[in-house]
Structure 1
């Protein structure tokens, strides 16, 4: 009897010890953060876990460079926790995190977040290309193709020589390629809708709507070359201007035609104002169209044919348009009346706008800063080699980027320049040697400050400073998606 009661007491004691022994927190979630970080800049990532007994937890990060953080202060389980670190060396690192509870029990390490620590501003982060060493003339030339960046960081760019639209991951690695079945060149820059649909046209006249996976949602055969990207309206309507001199408004769900407007000349990208008004060019005339039916709201005439797509400044209720003689005009959005004109150069590019409203434009081997109030030239920066230039893009830090095609003159590589808002040179980096045609690549800036541009047989990603300027038109077609819509 005593033996039985003793055994029972031992079992009860064991159970009490077992059930009373605290368990560690659950394994924390894989840290969340950017997969690209730059040397000597503060990097942040987030994780979360909980404790089986509802105890508070603390976190410790292993930053993958030989440094572990101190344990954090106690937080409630289930509450996301963020920590920061600064890397001093470049390379690939794996970030992990673990947690402990107030009883001192420590969880296992999380699954790693792999991060690429990259050199600083002005350095090439990555590049990719299609070079045929046996037949170089068959290599893909990206000089005349512009990037678009999707909502999840996917990178898209067309290629003429291989008749493909390319999708890459944020690090430049291949994701998928869409080859035109008729082997026609993807001659226009892609545009991306808010739901991730990719729109792109070919020189043969095919216009595709692709899912983010690269599958075809629908297509239209315009039987006329599509050389410029579409614009995407406030309701998702897609506005396309092929070489047949007609603007088409199509339904994003199925490509059904809503209305058409015969422009009669001029192949430039349509653009859309914040109120949905569609702006298109016809030779020397700019039209403002009602998005509901394509009827004309107003028109504005230039001296010569309009050379590039306009840029819309929502804060000042104006747009800027350039003709082939190089005249830049400021036009009121309300009625098409003119504010001012200023002559730039016969090869003036499309303008962009910074957060103060200042206008930047290139032409004649110079970068110009234009006062938006009166069109006065505030300063101009002269390229070391006065040769053809791309249009600019401007960042939130006031850095203006553009490519100078110096290879045709000096035999050296073409150069991407960064110029400060006061007109001083910030840095320059040589890229490749390209052959510019009518529609050259335009620099694009993402939220991390990375600058994307096509040049020669490579598509390039260069480390810049600051995301896009907080304006309605800081780069080609307004934004990183080439939506062509002002906000």
Structure 2
């Protein structure tokens, strides 16, 4: 007798949905084309001006701060929160308030150094983090979606404006929809890197096998457009796309400039260490990258503009990048785990200032709207650099964490609100603001900014604070798995048939062994199906195979007995 087995593939990419980057008028000091902090999917430019005051405003320490606690580069949300990943024995995602206090932290699962991890913000304010998994977190730190493709833990995702995300590693490039369902795959060489998006929607991926290295260009459907063969080994770097469409690639021993058609514009031979430097490019086409202890700026034609010598090596064994502010000042880190420096270098290649910070080598700085510079270290510390906030500040407006959101029926979301002051600093005033929905049957909102989607439709959510107000458009469409109806949206007849077939198969074996036969219990079946749904939504990162966490999607009980009781079964389940 053959039995049909429904194999559930628990794809565990965690997409961390941290709505943090809305489009907003520059009068409030925020622009959507500002640097995205991880900067791996942007040019490395910021529309903000960094501080000229090299003082420490505050220092945040992780729960296990100390030597060996590597951290990712920080990322700044529109509401002023700073997000950073810790490594070592800590391995958490932290949300840090603009005053340096911890808002929340959530554990992450990965083996390796956090300084190889890069969070990414998309245009609707979602934060994606790739480890061996990929996570999507809400602003309150709850996971929203999970999927697993078994890719190397380091690197990042590229995220398009339509919500499509792109993931590389282990020889396969994946295109995923907004719900982390796989749209397409493209098989490349055994070792491919973090993909990046061009302005025209083209996807660029560095790939290599040890014998063949190339830059691959794919369209939005994962179809190969062209591939440029590289004469140097691919290292840890990631391409960058300039405003004119030129793709700049650093590899072991050279930097390449390749046009959008896949033709070489120019190439410059350099030391091998340049392969660890992610290039940046400003609006004039000047390219910035590092090797050994040198930060180099090249004009768009490949000629040298200037070169700056650091006290310490800029590239060690991790990926680093330079951030360029609105005035053309370059910010970068150099050193090792024992000694480190944060530099500010003018657009002429001269030093403006520097700050000694132990263990900052390879960490990419982030610039906030008020000029504050955030930089993390290999000792579990996050520094805020800049002039201390003045005591008297004038409120200039309020900024929600997202201008538009999309939810599914039954899904919860979160909005934050920040007060924006005349010095461009921000304070989280979510709990001090008033929230109102235009149609609570479509979406309701609590006084803490927690959204709950109802029926399908569109509603506006208004947030008010001290005479200022903003509106967020919320669209509800589709259905989230309903924990009260585990079979919602599934083919009931097919499931009934498979259940009966499985039960008959098991009982046939039990009869042959002289054992008492199993009998069907619909309440236990619902409990089992709900747990299957939970695993599909959250993956195995939540406690393991048999347990659930209360903040997981579709939660029906911590253990088997609680889940069975939830659906009306009386008794325990061992």
| Separation in 2, partners of 1:351, 1:430 | 24
| Separation in 1, partners of 2:349, 2:202 | 34
User: What is the aligned partner in structure 1 of residue 374 from structure 2?
Assistant: 452
User: What is the aligned partner in structure 1 of residue 54 from structure 2?
Assistant: 122
The answer to whether 1:199 aligns with 2:165 is no
Of 227, 231, 236, the residue aligned with 1:303 is: 231
CA, structure 1 residues 297+453, in 2 after alignment: closer, same or farther (shift >3 Å)?
same
CA, structure 1 residues 213+329, in 2 after alignment: closer, same or farther (shift >3 Å)?
same
| Separation in 2, partners of 1:404, 1:277 | 33
Matched positions, count: 328
> Where does structure 1 differ by over 6 angstroms across 4 or more consecutive aligned residues?
181-185
Task: Describe how 1:156-235 pairs up with structure 2 within 5 A.
Answer: 156-161=83-88, 162-180=90-108, 188-202=117-131, 205-235=132-162
Of 298, 304, 314, the residue aligned with 1:370 is: 298
Larger RCO (CA under 8 A, 6+ residues apart): 2
Task: Describe how 1:202-351 pairs up with structure 2 within 5 A.
Answer: 202=131, 205-242=132-169, 244-252=170-178, 254-283=179-208, 284-291=213-220, 293-307=221-235, 308-314=237-243, 316-325=244-253, 327-333=254-260, 335-348=261-274, 349-351=277-279
8 Å Cα contact 2:312/2:340 also seen in 1: no
The answer to whether 1:396 aligns with 2:396 is no
Give the 3-state SS of the residue equivalent to 1:264 in structure 2: coil
Deviation of residue 441 (structure 1)? 2.1
| Separation in 1, partners of 2:314, 2:367 | 23
CA, structure 1 residues 387+270, in 2 after alignment: closer, same or farther (shift >3 Å)?
closer
Deviation of residue 182 (structure 1)? 8.1
The answer to whether 1:461 aligns with 2:389 is no
| Separation in 1, partners of 2:101, 2:230 | 45
- Where does structure 2 lack aligned partners over 5 or more consecutive residues? 1-26, 29-50, 388-574
| Separation in 2, partners of 1:432, 1:250 | 39
Deviation of residue 461 (structure 1)? 2.2
RMSD across aligned positions (CA): 2.7
Deviation of residue 290 (structure 1)? 0.7
| Separation in 2, partners of 1:296, 1:323 | 22
Greater helix percent: which structure? 2
The answer to whether 1:420 aligns with 2:346 is yes
8 Å Cα contact 1:452/1:462 also seen in 2: yes
| Separation in 2, partners of 1:154, 1:403 | 22
Query: Which structure has the greater CA radius of gyration?
Result: 1
Deviations 1:329-354 (A, max 9, x none): 11111x11011011232111111112
Q: TM-score, structure 1 length as denominator?
A: 0.63
8 Å Cα contact 1:303/1:323 also seen in 2: no
| Separation in 1, partners of 2:191, 2:326 | 33
Task: Describe how 1:9-24 pairs up with structure 2 within 5 A.
Answer: none
